């Protein structure tokens, strides 16, 4: 990986320019060189290539102090979280939202390896500990493959760390997250008593990406398996029946999360994965406008 600048593909969430750049925003990524006309011409060509390819430059490392130095936005203190079953297309939507929303929101990629140096709330820390260990116990019972269980546990610990970081710091803008607490721990969050769970639901909104038909997700999985096969990657994919069953179980959990969001007065919308992608992007952009107008 290049140190700086490094080029990030549009298939991954893009981190916006540094705070210094954002104080003098430009509509497109820009590189500046001091030098002769030839270097300026090369700069123009490279910038044109970046724009056409929907690529962007970013710093190689984010720190807590870096994030805190961004200009404050009305979204500060808010979280928009994607929920929905694995493989339904949340990350694809999240990536396409980065460019129009990056001036007002942080994304998960902004956190990088930033973690909670200290946790200011014992209550929030204990909630996260309880949720995490409840998940580990569930994985231990439900996952016969110990190595897969260990891998999943590591992924879950990162999600918990990120959630603690966001909830125990006062960032200058809110977060849009395609992988976070409610998406990865729906059963465990629902098991927390309502009076104790309030800090987890506060200032949170949800985008629920749902499939009308579980076979839509099955077909996406089949496409992924075929692509990995063409690339010669080893894999042990789940059967269509296993994917279908998981989607139905997840739908039940996320339907309950969506209903519980109403109880806690959290804004929430349902987006159907089978609908036109660009139309879904527009629905989310309108949802963002409503939230920011209320802030």
> Digits of tens for pLDDT over the chain (295 positions)?
333 333 333 333 333 344 444 444 444 444 444 456 666 677 677 766 666 665 555 554 678 888 999 999 999 999 999 999 999 999 999 999 999 999 999 999 999 878 766 667 889 999 999 999 999 988 877 776 777 778 888 899 999 999 999 998 999 999 999 999 999 999 999 999 988 999 999 999 999 999 999 999 999 999 988 888 888 887 788 899 999 999 999 999 999 999 999 999 999 999 999 999 999 999 999 999 999 988 7
Tokens of 11: 């298939």
Annotated domain spans of the chain: 1-61, 75-113+171-294
Whole-Å CA distances, 120 to 63, 197, 230: 19, 17, 49
The 3 state secondary structure assigned to 33-52 is CCCCHHHHHHHHHHHHHHHH
- The CATH number, out of the four listed (3.40.1080.10, 3.40.50.300, 3.40.50.150, 3.40.50.9100), of the domain defined by the range 75-113+171-294: 3.40.50.300
Tell me the C-alpha distance between 52 and 145, whole Å.
Answer: 44
The number of CA neighbours under 13 Å toward the Cβ of 12 is 13
| 142 alpha-carbon distance from chain centroid | 26
11: CB partners within 8 A, 6+ apart: 95
Tell me the C-alpha distance between 151 and 156, whole Å.
Answer: 9
What does pTM read for this prediction? 0.77
Q: Are the C-beta atoms of residues 207 and 81 closer than 8 Å to each other? A: yes
Tell me the C-alpha distance between 166 and 169, whole Å.
Answer: 6
Q: Report the DSSP beta bridge partners of residue 83.
A: 208
Tell me the C-alpha distance between 273 and 214, whole Å.
Answer: 10
274: CB partners within 8 A, 6+ apart: 211, 212, 213, 216
């Amino acid at each position: 990986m290049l140190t700086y600048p490094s080029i990030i593909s549009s298939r991954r969430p893009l981190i916006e320019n540094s705070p210094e750049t954002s104080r003098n925003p430009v509509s497109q990524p820009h590189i500046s060189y001091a030098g002769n006309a030839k270097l300026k011409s090369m700069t123009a060509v490279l910038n044109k290539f970046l724009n056409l390819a929907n690529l962007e430059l970013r710093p190689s490392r984010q720190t807590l102090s870096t994030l805190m130095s961004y200009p404050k936005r009305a979204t500060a203190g808010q979280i928009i979280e994607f929920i929905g079953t694995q493989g339904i297309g949340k990350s694809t939507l999240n990536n396409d939202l980065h460019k129009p929303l990056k001036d007002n929101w942080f994304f998960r990629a902004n956190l990088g390896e930033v973690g909670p140096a200290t946790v200011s709330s014992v209550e929030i820390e204990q909630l996260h500990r309880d949720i995490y260990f409840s998940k580990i116990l569930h994985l231990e019972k439900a996952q016969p493959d110990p190595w897969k269980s260990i891998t999943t546990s590591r992924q879950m610990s990162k999600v918990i760390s990120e959630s603690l970081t966001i909830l125990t710091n006062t960032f200058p803008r809110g977060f849009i997250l395609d992988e976070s607490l409610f998406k990865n721990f729906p059963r465990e969050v629902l098991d927390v008593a309502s009076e104790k769970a309030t800090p987890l639901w506060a200032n949170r909104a949800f985008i629920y990406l749902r499939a009308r038909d579980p076979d839509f997700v099955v077909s996406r999985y089949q496409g992924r398996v075929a692509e990995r096969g063409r690339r010669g990657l080893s894999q042990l994919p789940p059967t269509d029946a296993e994917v279908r069953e998981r989607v139905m179980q997840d739908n039940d959990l996320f339907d309950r999360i969506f209903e519980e969001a109403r109880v806690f007065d959290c804004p929430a919308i349902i987006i159907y994965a089978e609908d036109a992608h660009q139309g879904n992007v527009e629905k989310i952009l309108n949802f963002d406008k409503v939230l920011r107008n209320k802030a």
